[in-house]
Structure 1
Amino acid sequence: MEDAAEELLDSPDVLAQRINQAGGKAGVAASVTWLLQNAAALDGFNSVEEWAVATGGEGPVGYHLTQVRAVLARELWQRRLFVGVTVIDEMLFQAVRRRSQDPVLDVLVWLGRSPLGKPTYVIYPLHSFGLLGAGILFQPSEVSSEALARAYGIAVCSQHNRLSRAVEWLDEVHGWFGITGRVPNDLLEHWRSGRAPWLERNPLLVVRINTLSDSYYENQRLLLDRLHITTTFLGGLAVRQPVPISEASRLLSTRSVNNWQTLDVHHYFVMNGGIDDQGALRGDAIPMSVEAGYLAELSDLPVDLNMAYWSKGVDSAEGLWQPLETIANLQLPTRFRRSRAGQHSRARTARKIFESLDYFRRSLGFDRWYAVVSLATAFEMLLTSHYAGGITERLKRRVELLLGDPIVAQAVADVYDARSEMVHAGRTPPESLAIHAAQRAYLGCLEQIASKLNGLSRNEIDPMRRITGDI
């Protein structure tokens, strides 16, 4: 993320060239040329909003503005520079209106000078999440997420039970993330007293971002995608810890020790990169009124993470982080309603895999019925391209092809068979079911598939058959 912001600040011309060349002869360059040749059509309007109200945003001007904006947005978002489309539209409109020689470069230079270039963060509550290592001999350094924060821009902590302690922890996070501006104590106190008791009482997730938007909800889907990837990553790390967590060890989790967590969660916080007169960050408390159900679900992360282990092995977490990033980037074209790239097999496959992560995360709960049904669904979404009979054998075959382990493949088949028995016959899952092994298998398959997605033909009819080699 830091490299992407530096690229925007230091070499906007390089990124502008890439964007202008996108789409070939009928791509961005052609649309920019047309807009500049017809810039007089914009002279009677002071803003893109004024133009859109008067014209309905239709016609050739709207078409070409949208074409350029779509590529600008995609290139920025893939670099995790989350710029709202209304911001891009306005800056592009003004650049064309003043007959800029390179409107795309003008937009990028302006963005590089804006708060987008400064890293900031989202604060999000977690529920049912714990860090191992609490107890009588509890050492804060053993549950610190500093290593994850510096490597991946993710910081997590247990409940603090006092706002002053949460502020002290956020001050540490500022150092880990390289944040300019101090922690906004007064703003956090205002939010805590009026709308967010979870600031004191719940585990906190803080995700480093670069964002710029014109309204509360404009970038929410992009931020939710980051939270989606981040919570899956944390859940995956918990699965990949050396051994399954025993009931005895859970007693030494922060989830079990002095826990007053609450489900009274109605807002999350986005710090926006601005700094007030006292040198504190500015931010917004975003009401969970849009996609409220999904927002609430993202906060539920019932795992116990061994930070002592991951602080020493943070580099090994890259094997999970990069596949998740790959999937997130490849599914981005599906976010554009009129994007032709979003209809290609590769993007649609990536989107389906991206959605399967939800079901993997749901499988992490302590309810076995829910875990089995969710994990079976995650595998079906991950390893099949369309419905056909014989799913159990197909999943087993493809897991073995990807991982080369028939025992693990059988564990996945057993989970899917158990799901069918539960859903259709009402049976309870057997205690012998190797759920943890199947969860590990899901992550292994995800890594293998992500490494092959870029080589997938855009018009592939059966992507999973091709990727797994099940031919």
Structure 2
Amino acid sequence: MTPKILPTLAVKSTRAVQQSESYLAGKHNQLNHFASVDDLVTDEKLLSSSERNAIEHHIVNLRAAIARALWSHEIYVGRSVLDECVLGAGKAGGGNIAARVIAHLAQAGAERPGFVLYPLTSFGMKMSPIFHPSSSLQDWVAFPRAGYAVSGQKHSVKAAHARLVEMASALGIRQRIAFEDVRHFASQAGWLDRNPLMLVRLTSHTGDMYENQFVYSLKIRTAASGLLMLHALSVEKSGPVDGFHATSSVNNWETLDIRHYLIGENLRGRPMSLRRVPMNVSALELARLSDVAAMISTDELSTTRMKRLSSAVVAGLKTVEQGYFRHVNLTSKNKAQQRLYKRFVTALDWYRQSFGSRINESEAVVAIAVAFETLLTDTYQRGVAERIERRLGICLKGVPGVGGYEQAVLAIYHARSEIVHSGSLGQQANIIAAQAAFARCFCALVSRLAGWTPTPDEPIRDLLQDV
């Protein structure tokens, strides 16, 4: 059983935190006039403008300190929820407001995991041939260490609900998910029973519509990247899955009409609270986020080779996800780390785009070339192709067939230059080998972060000791 974090979690008691706690403790009588933060900020009678501004400042200051402590442990309590918690603790009077908010959240079971359920397009799970059934081939798979599961389309709301419960249980989410709530959601989101499904485990509690969407987006992006890496690494060994033997080709009525996703928020003593949330991004970004043109075989994943590679992919993506959140979303003061993790996530975005089911070969070549350039270089300088080839060799030292990877990636980069300058692809490019090479290179590069001291100038060169 995972040890509980909240009972022992402490908010760093800085001078600013102490001042805010002291100020709000002295204002508890005035705070008791307001039922909510909305009442407080819209008041024009009970408080002077300067007094109201001061109270708002100290609530926000405490909220920020509490959020940083919670979010650092992947407990994503939204800003609006924390504002109300701080106000409630302030109304009770006394000090130690931050500690009392944490204790309140612990009592409510705020670290119980929930999920985000998101539709995919172009994704399939390998199925058994009709006359050669295999008990080990499944139409869904869970990655508990990574915190996500994926499934082929289910064709009915009842079957989709059963699969949702099954995937949630495999990821350690125990709260009851009511069928009636799922059916109500399905009446307004046609993808639930038509599209492949991706369920990502996370601990999130929100009050406002979009406040934790940056977390959902990041986790969906890394989960999709993981599926595509596993697809590329399995295809290079065993060849592509025959489309006729994949869920993506069976009664496929998947829709691109994707406007909402489903959030499950989990508090003690209640069924899972389900919320239909509009995706607050552009239509193009929505299409790219859901487009996971991969075929996954549970038979292949069970091999020793793929278990080893899967473990490396999961570890690498988790490291980048946590680093991005810490240094970019939480805006740490380490500018070198901030730039580095931005580059990693941007490289993953281009990598995913190279698999797009609605792009041509030239577009795929440009996308994978940009992914490599983003991953393996710090800034644009002359000799990019040679630098990428050399650093790829450093990353993949000792990997069987490294020469073939180098040749494929170099051909991709030259093909990209030809496309950019002439507008057409005049030579063959082994995109599959390049996509597999990227997955291996990404894992090898990220594994070096553990013993690395950040440098401000050229972190990739420094990480790889490319002197």
Question: Counterpart of 2:287 in structure 1: which amino acid?
Answer: A
Q: Give the Cα separation in 1 of the matches to 2:303 and 2:99.
A: 42
Aligned-partner SS, 1:265: coil
Counterpart secondary structure, 1:232: helix
Displacement of 1:56: 8.8
* Structure 1 residues 78 and 322: alpha-carbon distance in aligned structure 2, compared to 1, 3 A threshold: farther
1:462 corresponds in structure 2 to 458
CA RMSD across the alignment: 3.0
Unaligned runs of 5+ in 2: 44-48
Q: In structure 2, what is the equivalent of residue 382 of structure 1?
A: 375
Q: Deviation at 1:48?
A: 4.4
CA distance in 2, matches of 1:266, 1:335: 27
Q: Secondary structure at the match of 1:211?
A: strand
Q: Distance in 2 between matches of 1:345 and 1:424?
A: 33
**Residue 179 of structure 1: CA displacement?**
3.2
| SS of corresponding position for 2:355 | coil
Aligned mate of 1:356, from 347, 363, 367 = 347
* Post-superposition CA distance 1:257-302 (Å, at most 9, x none): 33221212221111122599xx753311112344543233211100
C-alpha separation between the residues in 1 aligned to 2:51 and 2:171?
Answer: 40
Deviations along 1:238-273, one digit per CA (max 9) or x if unpaired, are: 112164564672331111233221212221111122
Aligned to 2:167: 173
Secondary structure class of the residue paired with 1:200? coil
Structure 1 counterpart of 2:300, from 281, 305, 309: 309
1:136-168 deviations in whole A, cap 9, x for unaligned?
14557512545x244433221111112222222
In structure 2, the partner of 1:142 is 137
Match of 2:17 among 19, 22, 32: 32
In structure 2, the CA distance between the partners of 1:466 and 1:106, relative to structure 1 (3 Å rule), is same
Q: Please tell me whether residue 416 in structure 1 is matched to residue 413 in structure 2.
A: yes
CA distance in 2, matches of 1:470, 1:139: 48
Tell me if the contact between 1:51 and 1:57 (Cα under 8 Å) persists in the aligned partners.
no
| Number of the residue aligned with 1:190 | 184
Larger helix proportion of the pair: 1
The amino acid across from 2:432 in the alignment is H
Task: Give the whole-Å Cα distance in 1 for the aligned partners of 2:165 and 2:54.
Answer: 50
- 2:30 corresponds to which residue? 44
1:465 maps to amino acid = R
Query: Letter of the aligned partner of 1:79 in structure 2?
Result: H
- The residue correspondences of 1:330-341 to structure 2 (distance < 5 A) are 330-336=323-329, 339=331, 341=332
SS of residue matched to 1:172: helix
Summarize deviations over 1:34-86 as a string: whole Å, max 9, x none.
Answer: 22333325652335445555769997776665555445333433432221122
Query: Normalising by the residue count of structure 1, what TM-score does the alignment of the two structures yield?
Result: 0.85
Whichever residue aligns with residue 392 of structure 1, its letter is: A
Q: Secondary structure at 2:110's aligned position in 1?
A: helix
Report the equivalent of 2:116: 122
Partner of residue 313, structure 2? 320
What letter is aligned with 2:422? Answer: A
Match of 2:391 in 1: 398
1:234 is matched with: 227
Would you say the 8 A contact 2:20–2:61 is kept in 1? no
Relative to structure 1, the CA distance from residue 178 to residue 106 in structure 2 (aligned partners, 3 Å threshold; closer, same or farther) is same
Shift of the 152–248 alpha-carbon distance from structure 1 to 2, 3 Å rule, reads: closer
The letter of the residue matching 1:302 is: A
**Post-superposition offset of 1:203:** 0.9
May I ask how many residue pairs the two structures share in their alignment?
449
- Taking the aligned partners of 2:463 and 2:18, their CA distance within structure 1 comes to 40
Q: Who is 1:23 aligned against?
A: none
Residues 1:214 and 2:207 are matched in the alignment: yes
**Deviation at residue 223 of structure 1 after TM alignment:** 0.8
Q: How does 1:441-456 map to 2 (within 5 A)?
A: 441-453=437-449, 455-456=451-452
Instruction: Name the CA distance, whole Å, in 1 between partners of 2:126 and 2:51.
Output: 54
Aligned equivalents of 1:179, 1:413: Cα separation in 2? 45
Out of 337, 344, 365, which is 1:372 matched to?
365
Asked whether the equivalents of residues 32 and 103 of structure 1 are also in contact (C-alpha less than 8 Å), the reply is: no
Q: Contact 2:145 / 2:314 at 8 angstroms: preserved in 1?
A: no
Residues 1:295 and 2:281 aligned together:
no
8 Å contact 1:8–1:108 — kept in the other structure? no
Secondary structure class of the residue paired with 1:82: strand
Measured at CA, do residues 101 and 424 of structure 1 come closer, stay the same or move farther in structure 2, by a change above 3 Å? same
Tell me the SS of whatever aligns to 1:241.
helix
Structure 1 window deviating more from structure 2 (136-145 vs 76-85): it is 136-145
Alpha-carbon distance change, 351 to 275 in structure 1, aligned in 2, over 3 angstroms = same
1:30 maps to amino acid: R
CA distance in 2: counterparts of 1:81 and 1:176, whole angstroms:
20
- Equivalence for 2:104: 110
Distance 1:200 1:134, change over 3 A: farther
1:132·1:253 contact (CA, 8 Å) conserved in 2?
yes
* Residues 223, 305 of structure 1: alpha-carbon distance in 2 compared, 3 angstrom cutoff: same
Does structure 2 conserve the Cα–Cα contact (< 8 Å) formed by 1:396 and 1:409? yes
The alpha-carbon distance between structure 1 residues 196 and 50, as it changes in their structure 2 partners (threshold 3 A), is closer
- Once the two structures are superposed, residues 90-121 of structure 1 have per-residue CA deviations (whole angstroms, 9 ceiling, x without a partner) of 32344355455433322222222335332222
Q: TM-score, normalised by structure 2?
A: 0.86
- Structure 1 residues 261 and 242, CA gap change in structure 2 (3 angstroms): closer
Query: Distance in 1 between the 2:300 and 2:190 partners?
Result: 31
Q: What is the CA distance between 1:128 and its match in structure 2?
A: 0.3
Which AA in structure 2 matches 1:414?
Answer: A
Find the aligned partners of 2:182 and 2:22 in 1 and give their Cα distance: 50
Instruction: Give the 5 Å matches for 1:230-309.
Output: 230-241=223-234, 243=236, 246=239, 249-273=242-266, 280-309=271-300
The answer on whether the counterparts of 1:244 and 1:436 sit within 8 Å (CA) in structure 2 is: no
Q: Which amino acid aligns with 1:171?
A: V
Using the alignment, how far apart are the partners of 1:280 and 1:455 within structure 2? Answer: 43
Greater CA drift, 113-122 or 201-210: 113-122
The share of aligned pairs that are identical, in percent, is: 29
- Go from structure 1 to structure 2 and tell me whether the alpha carbon gap of 1:353 and 1:257 turns closer, same or farther (over 3 Å shift): same
1:84 aligns with 2:78: yes
Are the structure 2 counterparts of residues 287 and 461 from structure 1 closer, same or farther at C-alpha, using a change threshold of 3 Å?
same
1:24 aligned residue: none
Structure 1 counterpart of 2:114, one-letter code:
T
Structure 2 Cα separation of the partners of residues 159 and 434 of structure 1: 31
